[in-house]
Structure 1
Amino acid sequence: MKLIDALVKQPTLDIGTRFTVASVYRSLGQAAKADEQNRLAGDALKKLEADVTAKPGDFDQGLRLASTHVLMGQNQKGVDVLIKSIAQPEVNTTNLLLAAEFFNRIGDPKNLEAALVKLTEKVPDSPEGWFDLAGVQALSESRAQEAWGTLTKALALDKQRRSTNATADNLYERVQGDPRFTDVRRLPEFKAWQP
Structure 2
Amino acid sequence: MKEAKETLKARILDGAIALFLEKGIANVTTRELTESLGISRSHIYHYFSNWQVLCIAALDRFMRDELETFARQINALTSKQKMAQLVENFLPLEPDAAWQLYSSIWHLAIHNAAYAELVESITDEWSGVVCGIIEEGIDNGTFRDSDARRTTRQLVSLLNGYAEFLSVRPSAKKCKMVQEDIADFIQQFIYKA
* TM-score strictly above 0.5: no
- Please tell me whether Structure 1 or Structure 2 has the larger radius of gyration of its CA atoms: 1
TM-score by length of 1: 0.29
Q: TM-score, normalised by structure 2?
A: 0.29
